[in-house]
Structure 1
Amino acid sequence: MNQLKEILEEVYVKERRNIFTFLTGAGVSADSGIPTYRGADGIWVKGTKYHKPEEFGTYRYFKDHQEEVWQYTLFRKKMIESVEPNESHIILYDLEKLLEERFHLITQNVDNLHRRAGNQNIYEIHGNYREVKCSGGCGEILPFPVDVKGKELTEEIEPEEIKHLKCPDCGSWLRPNILWFDEIYNERTHKIYSSLKVAKNSGVLFILGTSGATNLPIEIAKTTLKNGGYVVDANIEDNHFTTLLKGKKRVLTIREQSKDMLQSIKEVLEEVVNQDQ
């Protein structure tokens, strides 16, 4: 952990490009009981009762099977709402309190657990389950309808609930405000430019619980390296970031659980901050 301490101390005393950024993925929520996506038991590996997600989790599929996609969405919603933030989420909240405006959290997770733990400075690059948006021309983003509840996978959507899943302005189907496989990142919903700006100004980027299988997280890591920041890959196994970071300077690879890595970061930073006061 000596190298980690040296990185944290160096970044903390810098005047420019001194942001501490944490990029999180599904692995951070696994301890809360939410399955990961690409692990051995992951959602994207096992699929659903009907289809593999690369087909099911697309706007193309939604256009023809709205109720079926909503059935699975409400199943996920109920799962997410039944769990609590875990130790990793709590430590990330502690780190934001410690670092204040120098803390930034970029997450691929749509489960709202970071916000429930208390984090505020968050960039949700894959959207979230708190909101819906119109699938038609108006593109309105709205809070998730309060009259539409999470369900077991076998529960039917009631006719009255379907009424609440239609856009109040144009009548088109609403859809979850999340990024599907056949969609591209944008600023309004997915904070593509904001997150890349954060990456550019990061003194250190920590990668936690994500394999880097989508392109924006990889671009975030590339941007931090290009602008002289450190990248710390703190995952339990090799991943898409491993190839990107191999042989690069200003890179640290640590293979351990997110909660253990975050606890080490917190302990070192508490020491560094106390010394500075």
Structure 2
Amino acid sequence: MSEKRPMVAVLTGAGISTDSGIPDYRGPQGLWQRDPSAQEMVTIGPYLASTEVRRRSWLMRRDAGAIGAEPNAGHRALADLERAGVPMRVLTQNVDGLHQAAGLPARKVIELHGTATEVQCARCRVVGPMAAALERVAAGEDDPACEQCGGVLRPRTVMFGEALDERVLAQADAVAKACQVFLAVGSSLQVMPAALLPRIALERGAKLIVVNGEPTAYDEAAHEVIREPISEALPKLVRRLVNGDLARA
């Protein structure tokens, strides 16, 4: 009888998507460091209250290129891990949808901060594709309103000033408690409550592996810390996991 494979949980942050051309907001060269005022564009109060903030937000989304971004080798490696039959879940702080675009089934991805691939009306709650809203911006609408009721359109992300979905948090908590291996990939591990997930996994006896360009608060507790570029490190780490090489992983 073959040995049962360990459950792998993967927490991903902005660092996994930088090779896809999506900026890291919190890193040393991140947007928040270069332009702290940009944070109000993703803060719910200013966003709903100010037409000018929304206009700047739409221009940022238009120019960021996230909608046209393609998965990179890191995203594809995690999809390979799932296709190899390893029990796994991805808990992502990202809103770019690139895990699903790489081939991970949507049911295997828990989006802690929502998704930027869709918009939602703040008034009537109708949902639509972000790409269609950005087409309206490209056509000259600087603050596109809901076509159903005229309300404010917003991305289906969790903005600053909003609480995370309790059901999503419960799913992530259950995964962290159930896993035997926890990978923290491209995350500063500073943003709560996502930053608590590695601790939950460690308390349940899981092996923690940190893959990040900058030091994190969990490095000393980790069984392994990898500083290589994520697009290089993850394919190698996935091969080790697929081969059952957990002693060295």
5 Å matches for 1:52-63? Answer: 52-53=38-39, 55-63=40-48
Which of these residues, 102, 109, 112, is aligned with residue 122 of structure 1? Answer: 109
Aligned match for 1:30, one of 13, 18, 23: 18
Higher share in helix: 1
Match of residue 158, structure 1, among 127, 141, 163:
141
After TM superposition, give the deviation of residue 71 of structure 1 in Å: 4.1
How far did residue 195 of structure 1 move?
Answer: 0.8
Counting only pairs closer than 5 Å after superposition, residues 89-100 of structure 1 correspond to structure 2 as 89-100=75-86
Given the two structures, how large is their TM-score scaled by the length of structure 1?
A: 0.76
1:65 is matched with: 50
Distance 1:118 1:41 in 2: 30
| Alignment-derived partner of residue 156 in structure 2 | 177
**Mean Cα deviation higher: 58-67 or 109-118:** 58-67
Which one has the largest radius of gyration?
A: 1
- Measure, in 1, the Cα distance between the counterparts of 2:224 and 2:193: 20
* Separation of aligned partners in 2, 1:146 and 1:82: 9
Alpha-carbon distance between aligned partners in 2 of 1:93 and 1:105, rounded to the nearest angstrom: 10
Gaps of at least 5 residues in structure 1 are 1-11
Deviations along 1:222-248, one digit per CA (max 9) or x if unpaired, are 111121111111112202434xxx3x4
Q: Find out whether 1:21 has 2:9 as its counterpart.
A: yes
Question: Alignment partner for residue 107 of structure 1, among 78, 81, 92?
Answer: 92
Question: Structure 2: any 5+ residue segments left out of the alignment?
Answer: none
One-letter code aligned to 2:146: K
Match of 1:9 in 2: none
Q: How does 1:174-253 map to 2 (within 5 A)?
A: 174-187=153-166, 191-242=168-219, 246=220, 248=221, 251-253=223-225
Deviations 1:48-104 (A, max 9, x none): 8xx231x3321110121145325424532551123221111111111110135x111
Instruction: Give the conservation status (yes or no) of the 8 Å contact 2:118–2:127.
Output: yes
For the residue of structure 1 that corresponds to 2:134, the secondary structure is coil
Q: CA deviation at 1:264?
A: 2.0
C-alpha contact 2:41 2:57 (8 A) present in aligned 1: no
Amino acid of the residue matched to residue 76 of structure 1? R
TM-score by length of 2: 0.84
Q: What is the CA RMSD across the aligned residues, in angstroms?
A: 2.8
**Do 1:206 and 1:233's aligned partners in 2 also have CA atoms closer than 8 Å?**
yes
| 1:167–1:204 distance in 2 versus 1, CA, 3 Å | farther
Query: Share of identical aligned residues, percent?
Result: 29
For the 8 Å contact 2:42–2:57, the answer to whether it is kept is no
> How far, CA to CA, are the matches of 1:271 and 1:192 in structure 2?
31
Distance 1:214 1:117, change over 3 A: same
Residue 75 (structure 1) aligned to one of 60, 67, 73: 60
What's the secondary structure of 2:11's corresponding residue? Answer: strand
| 2:248 corresponds to 1:269 | no
The reply on whether 1:84 has 2:70 as its aligned counterpart is yes
Count residues with an aligned counterpart: 241
Check 1:185–1:30 CA distance in 2 against 1; reply closer, same or farther (3 A cut).
same
Residue 225 to residue 77, structure 1, CA distance change in 2 (3 Å): farther
User: In the alignment, residue 95 of structure 2 is paired with which amino acid?
Assistant: V
TM-fit CA distance, 1:141:
5.3
Residue type of the alignment partner of 1:174? L
Letter matched to residue 97 of structure 1: R
Q: Deviations over 1:12-63 (max 9, x none)?
A: 9458xx3101111111111111111122321111228xx231x332111012
Distance 1:175 1:227 in 2: 38
